[in-house]
Amino acid sequence: MPRPIAIALLLCLAAPAARAESAIELTVYNNDLALVKELRAIDLSRGVQEYTFTGVPERLLPETVHFRSLRDPEGTLVLEQNYRYDLLDRNSLLERYRGQEVRALVDGEWRRARLLAAGNPTESQPLGRILEIDGELHIEGFVLPALPAGLLLEPSLVWLIEAAQAGRHEVELSYLSEGIGWRADYVAVAGEKDVLDLTGWVTLDNRSGKAYPEARLKLVAGDVNRVPRPTPRMAKGMEAMAFAADRGGFAQEQFFEYHLYTLGRPTTVLDKEQKQVELLRIAGLPAQRKYVFRSDSWQEDSEPRAVAVTLEFANSEEAGAGLPLPKGTVRVYQADAGGQLQFAGEDEIPHTPEGERVRLKLGDAFDIRGERLQTAIDQRGNRIVSRSFQITLRNHKDSAIRVEVLEDTPAWQEWSVRGASHEYDKRSTRQLVFTVPVPAKGEAVLTYTLVTN
């Protein structure tokens, strides 16, 4: 059986890649983007030459590539650059032979044939690969004479380089690649005495088409509109805050208007891999469980509905935290009567700087209901002057609770509150917050009148 294509493939696979990676720095952003910096040693001749740089991501952004020779920066120039990503696979290989002569196995005999169609069977082309032999069409196995020029085993940068000095050059290559991003995932274990243990994890997802062995990993937290320069200028007085740095984990620092997290040890990030690395660990963080009933002050009467349960904590140094928390998902667990952890709910948090509060909505409380009624309205002509409301909160639990009642108010009018049965805070021009104690196995009634000018 003829095997020219098989031999060509084996030779290609056995050939060493034209790369010698000595160092990789990987800076990953939240928005599916990474900045890659590599140091490689390459051999160049004096003068103009073509050099193929392999081992780059499939989702590389070629317009972001920056090349610099550390040996002779001024005398080593890239005159042209081509990013080639027409990779070798069955379809691309056969497509190169469309309309050409191949050898086909027909009834146990190898015969010369012309390849008319090269694709796999599809709805528009159900026959798939089609051969013409002696004027007849066949769908058969066949052998190709050679590996077509231009097909690559992996994505490559092909440069036309002019070098003033011959010999080995250590070069620095930097580029942006899509297909790699990170997010924060948090595990919070709530205790019985209003405390929780919080563990933060970095979840790194690499689908860029390249592995990054022994990379120095950095993460940028923040909504980046423009990618910062590879060596950003740090603000004066910058202070690094340790996360898990004493265990070779992440250390955090500020740069520009973002936060940068640097892993204290090299790590290998494989292609098509999700990697998790511990970001932070906080024990005994004070937290408060709260019940929240929210309504719209301009709605009509509402049906009884559940009251939301939230978990809050202060991201402050006094509370035991005080760390910039990257946006991500917080999953909360609590032990049952048998001491086994059970999932209690999850919520997303935004990028949260030090000093802010974190509020997690975990779900609706099963044993607490709220009902809101409009009890009176004062209307003069087409203008509503005031509305009166009654909010009834029913607690079927064995313990007393406090419920925050959030009432939205019209932002386009001036307003005031009269005759409120409970104290309230004017959180903003659009919201009132009442705190209502509700006894165990009992109910509480909140009343107030909203007057508009």
pLDDT category of residue 248 using cuts at 50, 70 and 90: low
Q: Residue 11: which pLDDT band, with cuts at 50, 70 and 90?
A: very low
Residues 205 and 269 in one domain: yes
Q: Is residue 322 part of a domain?
A: no
- The confidence band for 307, taking pLDDT boundaries of 50, 70 and 90, is very high
36 plus 130 within the same structural domain: no
Q: Identify whether 316 is part of a domain.
A: no
- Per-residue pLDDT of 13-25, as tens digits, reads 333 334 444 589 9
Q: Given this model, what pLDDT does residue 251 score?
A: 84
Is the domain of 174 the same as that of 238?
Answer: no
Question: Which amino acid is located at 267 in the chain?
Answer: T
Q: Which of 15-29, 390-404, 422-436 has the lowest mean pLDDT?
A: 15-29
Q: Is the pLDDT of residue 72 over 70?
A: yes
Q: Are residues 82 and 96 in the same domain?
A: no
- Choose the most confident range, by mean pLDDT, from 164-178, 292-306, 310-324: 164-178
| 189, 254: one domain | yes
Domains: count for the chain: 4
Most confident of 91-95, 186-190, 255-259, 408-412: 186-190
Is the pLDDT at 362 greater than 80? The verdict is yes
Residue with structure tokens 């064995």?
A: 398
Q: Is 27 a member of any domain?
A: yes
The model's pLDDT over 140-163, given as tens digits with 9 standing for 90+, comes to: 455 455 555 655 567 888 899 999
pLDDT at 113: 73
pLDDT at 92: 57
Do 259 and 185 lie in one domain? The reply is yes
Which of 41-55, 108-122, 251-265 has the weakest average pLDDT?
108-122
295 and 279 together in one domain: no
| pLDDT tier at 134, thresholds 50, 70, 90 | low
Both 133 and 208 in one domain: the answer is no
* Domain containing residue 237: 181-216+230-285
Q: Output the pLDDT for position 20.
A: 44
Judged against a pLDDT cut of 90, whether residue 55 lies above it is answered with no
pLDDT at 360 over 90: yes
Residue 382: pLDDT band with limits 50, 70, 90: confident
To the question of pTM greater than 0.75 for the whole model, the response is no
Is 173 found in the same domain as 46? yes
